[in-house]
Amino acid sequence: MKRLFIILAAALTLSACSDSSNKQAADTAQKTLTISAPSGEYKNDPYHSSLSFSVTHIGLANYVMRFTDFSAVLQLDADKPADSTIELTINPASITTDFDGDYKSTHKQSPFSTWDEDLAQSPKFLNAGEHPEIRFASTRVMPNKDGTLNVTGDLTLLGQTHPVTLTAHLVGDVEKHPFFGFGALGFSASGTFKRSQFGMTHLTQPPLVGDDVTVSFEGEFHQVVESAAQ
């Protein structure tokens, strides 16, 4: 019995040390990211933001597409970035591929006029008529020792919601925007998820188009203040 108590005490001590070590590591990571922009609500500047994604095409190259209509709202805690949140809303009908080939001659049975329209509206792809919005809402932000952030959130696509983790890093930040005077900062973020998890399996078997989707976001965020409207 005495030996059992000793083992339990040792286990509790190790657990406490582990918790303390994890907290210390998180605190250290928190301190490696210093943000000058003030805490508050921020929205992305649509003229200095981009959202693209890519999949492999017949195993030869990464095929890159982008969305032109999206918005992001950041609730920034500058002193404790882990308490920050972000929500991203995307219009799937705004997908663009810059494909200017003769789509109709190669897709004679298609009811669509362009490749972009096919990707946006086809039930095999984004099905924007049935699902007019794609959303990402963060659920956890974890600072890393290298100053990056692991942003885990719920991605809602084609009516299904699954967790996705992005890695973000602060590109730059200022307490006052040089032209407007309010807080501003910019982030790069990227991550990967499987489209089949959301029910989009067209052309994955045989693998003509890859299952893994790589997302890349570049965004400049402006603080939401009364003066911003002016």
CA distance 119 to 112: 9
Reported as a single tens digit per residue, the pLDDT across 111-126 is 999 999 999 999 999 9
Question: Do 44 and 14 share a structural domain?
Answer: no
Question: Do 165 and 87 share a structural domain?
Answer: yes
Question: Do 53 and 28 share a structural domain?
Answer: no
Q: What pLDDT, on a 0 to 100 scale, did the predictor assign at position 226?
A: 72
CB 157 within 8 A of CB 194: no
CA distance 187 to 43: 12
Question: Do 140 and 28 share a structural domain?
Answer: no
Contacts of 166 (CB under 8 A, 6+ apart): 150, 151, 152, 153, 189, 190, 191, 215, 217
pLDDT at 222 over 50: yes
Q: What pLDDT, on a 0 to 100 scale, did the predictor assign at position 206?
A: 92
Reported as a single tens digit per residue, the pLDDT across 24-57 is 555 555 557 999 999 999 999 999 999 999 999 9
Reported as a single tens digit per residue, the pLDDT across 166-212 is 999 999 999 999 999 999 999 999 999 999 999 999 999 999 999 99
Q: What pLDDT, on a 0 to 100 scale, did the predictor assign at position 129?
A: 97
Specify if 118 maps to a domain: no
Structural domains of the chain, count = 2
Furthest-apart CA atoms within the chain: distance in Å: 83
Q: What pLDDT, on a 0 to 100 scale, did the predictor assign at position 16?
A: 52
CATH number, domain of 196, equals 2.40.128.110
Query: Distance of CA 78 to CAs 32, 100, 202, Å?
Result: 12, 44, 43
Specify if 225 maps to a domain: yes
Question: Do 7 and 62 share a structural domain?
Answer: no
Specify if 75 maps to a domain: yes
Q: Which domain holds residue 150?
A: 35-91+133-229
Q: Phi first, then psi: give them for residue 105, nearest 5 degrees.
A: -70, -25
Specify if 126 maps to a domain: no
Question: Do 185 and 148 share a structural domain?
Answer: yes
> What percent of the chain is modeled with pLDDT above 90?
80
Specify if 103 maps to a domain: no
Ranges 21-25, 106-110, 175-179: which has the least confidence: 21-25
Question: Do 28 and 56 share a structural domain?
Answer: no
**DSSP reduced 3-state for 221:** strand
Specify if 177 maps to a domain: yes
Specify if 150 maps to a domain: yes
Question: Do 222 and 162 share a structural domain?
Answer: yes
Question: Do 84 and 13 share a structural domain?
Answer: no
Per-position b or e across 52-89, b if 16+ CB within 10 A of its CB: ebbbbeeeeeeeebbbeebebbbebebeebeebbbebe
CA distance 50 to 66: 8
| Cα angle 168-171-177, degrees, rounded to a multiple of 5 | 125
Q: What pLDDT, on a 0 to 100 scale, did the predictor assign at position 7?
A: 42
Q: What integer best gives the mean pLDDT of the chain?
A: 89
Question: Do 194 and 142 share a structural domain?
Answer: yes
Specify if 2 maps to a domain: yes
Question: Do 157 and 78 share a structural domain?
Answer: yes
